[in-house]
Structure 1
Amino acid sequence: MFGGWRLFCSNMAMSHSIAEREMRCVANVEVRSQISVMTDDLVLTITDPRGAFKARIKNIPRSDFTTPFLLSFHIYFEAPSLNDSKEIAEDLLATCLNMLAFTTGSAFRMHRFRQIVDAEVPAKGDMRNILMWGEGVEYDDPQPFLQKDNARSIERLLEHDVPPAIRRALRWYRLGIDAVSPDDQFAYFWFALEIVAEFQKPPEKVHDKCPHCQSPLYCENCQKHPEHRPYAKQAIRAVMKAAECDDATMNLLDKTRNSLMHGTTLREIESSLPTPHESIVDILGRILWKALVLQFPKEFFNGTLVMGMPSTYIHYKANAIAHVQTIVPVDKDGHFNLDFKGMTVAITPPGPPQSAAPFVVRMTSEQYDRLIMLSHRKGDHQEMIQRIRHHVQEKGGFIHALVLATDMSLIERAVKSKQQGDWQDLFGEILGPADESG
């Protein structure tokens, strides 16, 4: 059983020393998968021969088919502490998923952590320490950005007959933006950069250079300096330099690329990268973007094009993690029941789903006082009024309130149809012709 496990493995994903592994834990993780266990009541067990982990895998039955199919993974392992357990659990899960993909040819991806439970025998009573991850936010609102100018800018760029190589590079740029893992994003951006570099490789031959002084190498037998077309690495450096990248950044990106291509991860080489280590993806992404811009005629960029670049290419997600103590049932074989029915951790969205940009409306102090009074009155309007009253700013003697697009649509319908009611009358005054709305 798990209680007698000790670690003797040297695998990179299990490299924590025996001395550090002082605490038994069990992680409850959900995994997206293309395949399922043959029956919903069957539990598969994968036990590491070296004792590093035990994984119990089963289907998560679903009645709502709009949600993705998920597998449940319960991973039993050891860690220095509960706070250090997530990183170890991620490595062990990756070992399981890698082998599952290798032996089945199917796709597996971690969906989310649910809990990590302290599996040690409780010192007193039956209470256990648990890290409990919040439920995923129901929806991710987009960033309102697209306007008519964006469409006109695309039409202008399409006037240029983009070569096939650059179309392929644009494809890898798109895939890199969308990729979930920062490691994948870096690799995809590098693919795009290599394609641009190969396309731009000059026909003129160059000399081999001395690795120490960078002078052209001389062959005494041939009595001349050997020449060749630029190598891929030389061509990539030329593209980076054209994109205003300095030598130190070029060297850092090249070393990062070499490390990833030889099997390491960004997290494993984070000591050699900027902080946070994922920001190396942003550095490469911005250089690639500049390199792609240079593939279009300069006269296109005369100030009339609308172009956008994200503050970061990394897909960060916020989640709540609660440290709780509660009783966790254990079956006769020592396996934990991790359903935790009736107990959830959640992040409450600020309002209903949005796609359009929010509005700003201007009101007087007297109107704002009436808004506050209405926010305390029970009714189907209350949540909307509370959202509006908590996002205000005083300026020029007026109160300016931020109104979500979904709420504004409801308000405008009520005002235009002349619905009767206190909040409808208030917004009729606020949105009336005497007051401007932003």
Structure 2
Amino acid sequence: MAAKAVLFGTLSATTTGKPGCERQFMRCVAHFEVISEVSVVSDHRILTINDPRGAFVARIKNIQRFEFTTPFLLSLHVYFDAPTLNDAKDIAEDRLAVCLNMLAFTTGSRFRKHRIRQIADAEVRPNGAIRDMLMWGDSIEYDDPQPYLDDVNANTIERLLEFDVPPAIRRALRWYRLGIDAATPDDQFTYFWFALEIVAEFQKPVAKVNDKCPHCQSALYCEKCDTHPQHRPYAKQAIRALMTAADENCDDATVALLNMTRNSLMHGSTLREIEDALPDPHESVVDTLGRILWNALVRQFPQEIFKQPLVMGVPSTYVHYKTTGVAHIQTVVPVDSEGYLDLDLKGVTMAMQSFGPPQSAFPSVVRMTHEQSDRLRKLSYGEGGHQEMLVRIRQQYREKEGHIFALVLSTDMAAILSALENGEGGAWQDLFREFIDTAETVR
């Protein structure tokens, strides 16, 4: 199957709709893979869901597994209309959400998007016609962790555990953990807010406060009773007091923004739907709330605990951003007898490859002379079982003060040390023996 890469562009759309309607749309199909607890009763059967209003047609089938160490996935194709191919992704995600919501509602089982594979032009065309397609690269095989955990982290946890954490704060810590882990910014914000409400209710002051005028916020006065009516702080007031106490940069505008976001999410909106009312990028509201919540949780521990140095980390962002490669290609897509496209496309692949093998520890730096770096460079162009490793090291050269410094991934360093410790012979092994004692861990 031939395929050629082309630049991103906007396709001309076909005119659809009622007579006199000039709106421009094209038929598209999106190919998703979905993680599910349930499967179609037969591997050769395709379930079709037709939206009564014509918004989409969904076709669902099993992806057969031949290695049962891999997760079970459903293949879900969604046909829908979009202005252009490049505008189709957001519409496809909305149509997918409708399908997954109804599948979960009617089966009581879990359904979760695994990844999107393609979005293709699904207009009626002769079989064998060239079609435009957006193809997403397979996710990188692995995500390396950030080397971070050390004895200082264990010591910090032991120090914090000296305090008998109240049950309410334990629940808040649980929601904070779930918020960090949640897959979408909407869920992250909601979970963080749950934690904030728990902490605010837990430390809500007993002292009563004045009822306030809804316009000027001054204390209301009852002429008949000749007094200012008072009450215990409402939940909203307790949350505001907690936020402003936890973060000195939390002003009235920030409180209003977070309250508006909370109300919108709790009443069915999404962050994307209210993005015009949020800072740019709209996901940053999650980081604002996460930072305030973390400060509030820290304040629940006795301050004397922090008289000794403790190591605690907060992320630069709580939102889980992912790198995605998308290619715009033109290729032939087979059409079945019912007019549906076969998007398996075994002859066309799009992949994202990482720089090196998985690693979980810090990399190292080795120091070489110019003559040694030239020898390593020549060896990297030769043949052997470690060429990819040598190429990676060669690509990470830096010159400083008359020496060449090279970055070595922890996985590669483990292979090198194992070869040297086992007394392996060879040109690259002999070369590394000359400077392996210069290796230093990069933190």
Supply the AA of the counterpart residue of 1:185. Q
Once the two structures are superposed, the pairs formed by residues 110-189 of structure 1 within 5 Å of their partners are 110-122=113-125, 126-189=129-192
- One of 230, 233, 251 as aligned partner of 1:246: 251
Q: Against the structure 1 CA distance between its residues 19 and 300, is the aligned structure 2 distance closer, same or farther, given a 3 Å change threshold? A: farther
* 8 A contact 2:15–2:25 mirrored in 1: no
Worse overlay, 163-172 or 413-422: 413-422
Q: Against the structure 1 CA distance between its residues 125 and 42, is the aligned structure 2 distance closer, same or farther, given a 3 Å change threshold? A: closer
Number of the residue aligned with 1:355: 360
Q: Does 1:37 align with 2:40?
A: yes
Number of the residue aligned with 1:208: 211
* 8 A contact 1:431–1:437 mirrored in 2: no
Q: Against the structure 1 CA distance between its residues 222 and 21, is the aligned structure 2 distance closer, same or farther, given a 3 Å change threshold? A: farther
* 8 A contact 1:5–1:51 mirrored in 2: no
- One of 317, 320, 326 as aligned partner of 1:315: 320
Distance 1:178 1:163 in 2: 23
Q: Against the structure 1 CA distance between its residues 341 and 123, is the aligned structure 2 distance closer, same or farther, given a 3 Å change threshold? A: closer
Number of the residue aligned with 1:79: 82
* 8 A contact 2:127–2:334 mirrored in 1: no
* 8 A contact 1:26–1:118 mirrored in 2: yes
* 8 A contact 1:25–1:116 mirrored in 2: yes
Distance 2:440 2:82 in 1: 57
Q: TM-score, normalised by structure 2?
A: 0.92
Instruction: For residue 168 of structure 1, report the CA deviation from its aligned partner.
Output: 0.6
Distance 1:155 1:303 in 2: 12
Distance 1:329 1:319 in 2: 26
* 8 A contact 2:50–2:57 mirrored in 1: yes
Supply the AA of the counterpart residue of 1:160. F
Instruction: For residue 19 of structure 1, report the CA deviation from its aligned partner.
Output: 5.4
SS where residue 268 of structure 1 aligns?
coil
Q: Against the structure 1 CA distance between its residues 6 and 92, is the aligned structure 2 distance closer, same or farther, given a 3 Å change threshold? A: farther
Deviation track 1:352-378 (CA, whole Å, cap 9, x = no partner) reads 111111111111111111111111011
Instruction: For residue 124 of structure 1, report the CA deviation from its aligned partner.
Output: 11
Q: Does 1:409 align with 2:414?
A: yes
Distance 2:422 2:375 in 1: 22
Q: Does 1:394 align with 2:399?
A: yes
Instruction: For residue 418 of structure 1, report the CA deviation from its aligned partner.
Output: 2.1
Distance 1:399 1:351 in 2: 21
SS where residue 129 of structure 1 aligns?
strand
Distance 1:403 1:363 in 2: 13
Deviation track 1:116-155 (CA, whole Å, cap 9, x = no partner) reads 1101245997100000111121111111100010000100
Number of the residue aligned with 2:7: none
Number of the residue aligned with 1:230: 233
Deviation track 1:143-187 (CA, whole Å, cap 9, x = no partner) reads 110001000010001111111111110000000000001100000
Number of the residue aligned with 1:256: 261
Number of the residue aligned with 1:330: 335
Q: Does 1:22 align with 2:16?
A: no
Q: Does 1:367 align with 2:372?
A: yes
* 8 A contact 1:173–1:192 mirrored in 2: yes
- One of 291, 304, 314 as aligned partner of 2:296: 291
Supply the AA of the counterpart residue of 1:91. D
Q: Does 1:65 align with 2:68?
A: yes
Distance 2:300 2:367 in 1: 46
Supply the AA of the counterpart residue of 2:214. P
- One of 260, 266, 270 as aligned partner of 1:265: 270
Distance 1:322 1:122 in 2: 22
Instruction: For residue 216 of structure 1, report the CA deviation from its aligned partner.
Output: 1.1
Distance 1:251 1:405 in 2: 47
Q: TM-score, normalised by structure 1?
A: 0.93
SS where residue 75 of structure 2 aligns?
strand
SS where residue 179 of structure 2 aligns?
helix
Distance 1:401 1:352 in 2: 17
Supply the AA of the counterpart residue of 2:320. H
Instruction: For residue 417 of structure 1, report the CA deviation from its aligned partner.
Output: 2.1
Distance 2:440 2:200 in 1: 50
Distance 2:252 2:434 in 1: 62
Worse overlay, 89-98 or 394-403: 394-403
Number of the residue aligned with 2:194: 191
Q: Does 1:88 align with 2:96?
A: no
State how many pairs are aligned. 424
Distance 1:35 1:6 in 2: 37
SS where residue 440 of structure 2 aligns?
coil
Moved over 4 A (4+): 3-7, 18-21, 122-125
Distance 2:153 2:417 in 1: 28
* 8 A contact 2:131–2:331 mirrored in 1: yes
Instruction: For residue 97 of structure 1, report the CA deviation from its aligned partner.
Output: 1.0
* 8 A contact 1:20–1:79 mirrored in 2: no
Instruction: For residue 109 of structure 1, report the CA deviation from its aligned partner.
Output: 0.9
SS where residue 29 of structure 2 aligns?
strand
- One of 39, 48, 53 as aligned partner of 2:51: 48
Q: Does 1:218 align with 2:202?
A: no
Instruction: For residue 403 of structure 1, report the CA deviation from its aligned partner.
Output: 0.7
Q: Against the structure 1 CA distance between its residues 31 and 159, is the aligned structure 2 distance closer, same or farther, given a 3 Å change threshold? A: same
* 8 A contact 2:119–2:135 mirrored in 1: yes
Instruction: For residue 4 of structure 1, report the CA deviation from its aligned partner.
Output: 11
Instruction: For residue 262 of structure 1, report the CA deviation from its aligned partner.
Output: 0.6
Q: Against the structure 1 CA distance between its residues 211 and 430, is the aligned structure 2 distance closer, same or farther, given a 3 Å change threshold? A: same
Q: Does 1:377 align with 2:382?
A: yes
Instruction: For residue 5 of structure 1, report the CA deviation from its aligned partner.
Output: 7.9
RMSD over aligned CA atoms reads 1.8
Deviation track 1:217-268 (CA, whole Å, cap 9, x = no partner) reads 1233433222111001100011101112222111111110010001000000
